[in-house]
Amino acid sequence: MPTRKKDARLKDFVRPFLVDNRDMLAHLPEQDRLILEQKALPEEHKRGEWLFRQGGYPTGVYWLVSGKAKIFQGIQDGERRTLYLYADGDLIAYRQLIAEQPHPVSAVLLEDSVIRLIPADTFRGLIQTSPFFARNMLTGLAREFTVWINLLNAFKKYTVRQRIMLVLLILHVQDGASAAPAGAVTLTRTDIAEFVGASLETVVRMLKTISADGLIGIDGREIAILEPLRMVEELTAGG
């Protein structure tokens, strides 16, 4: 299969599970773009920094210019359940701000990142004055809701092995749209376990079997995606 068709098949499979809201701030009217550039200055942040905590009230919207962040909920006995991994260009926490609700999740950076914090007043002002901006936000909200439903249904259907492969493919496509090195993703075993809803021991064991099958290569935190289409075939078999 030609490389272009392989890439298209992979992206078509992963697209229903990608928020990918980079376009929400792309091609804005000049006056809107200038407001964002003046009010939301880029800041460098380190891996492990918290953006916000569950239960707190939003003070602005986080524009993830580059990097990676996860949102998660604290559940019983101090455990965490990761709900999504954001990447370059994504907006985080705008739903809570629009709804004027406390954060239902916490957010922490998974790698060194560049963030633009859009102040609450600036964000609300653009929604009120810019039909283009408001429409983009509505489109983004609808897209995110669809992604949550798609992930929920997939995780109900898939085994732990398949859930891990899906997460790796999501990261693979996300990184392909960013400046990250092609062909590999970086995520701790704990982060994977919290996302797929399995124990750390199970995730480590499943990664070894997936590697033994020649689908991935493992070098510390770095996981090389060797056969993404074979992974897609396994995930779609019988579907």
Residue-range domain boundaries for the chain: 18-154, 158-236
pLDDT at 10 over 70: yes
Which of residues 54 and 76 earns the better pLDDT score? 54
- Which tokens go with 81? 């359940």
Let me know the angle formed at the C-alpha of 67 by 33 and 163, rounded to the nearest 5 degrees.
120
Which of residues 22 and 227 earns the better pLDDT score? 227
Average pLDDT, the chain: 90
Exposed, middle or buried by CB within 10 Å (0-12, 13-18, 19+), for 149?
Answer: exposed
CATH number of this structure's domain 158-236: 1.10.10.10
Task: With H, G, I as helix, E, B as strand and everything else as coil, classify residue 135.
Answer: helix
Percent of the chain clearing pLDDT 90 (strictly above):
79
Residue range 51-73: average pLDDT?
95
Domain 18-154 has CATH 2.60.40.420: no
pLDDT at 179 over 60: no
- Amino acid 171: pLDDT: 92
Lowest mean pLDDT among 23-32, 53-62, 187-196: 23-32
Residue range 105-132: average pLDDT?
95
- Amino acid 181: pLDDT: 46
Question: For the chain, what is the total number of helices (H) and then of strands (E)?
Answer: 9, 11
Q: Which amino acid is at 105?
A: V
- CB–CB of 95/144 below 8 Å? yes
Which of residues 43 and 176 earns the better pLDDT score? 43
pLDDT at 196 over 80: yes
The side-by-side arrangement of strands in the sheet containing 50-52 is 50-52, 106-109, 69-74, 80-86
Residue range 75-94: average pLDDT?
88
Q: Could you tell me the sign of the dihedral formed by the alpha carbons of 228, 156, 71, 161, in that order? A: negative
Residue at token pair 């986080």: 62
Q: What radius of gyration do the chain's Cα atoms show?
A: 18
Q: How confident is the model at residue 79 (pLDDT cuts 50, 70, 90)?
A: confident
Q: How confident is the model at residue 3 (pLDDT cuts 50, 70, 90)?
A: low
Alpha helices by DSSP H, listed for the chain, are 3-14, 30-39, 94-99, 120-129, 131-157, 160-176, 189-196, 200-212, 228-236
The side-by-side arrangement of strands in the sheet containing 42-45 is 42-45, 113-119, 60-66, 91-92
Provide the 10 A C-beta neighbour count for residue 119: 13
Residue range 82-98: average pLDDT?
94
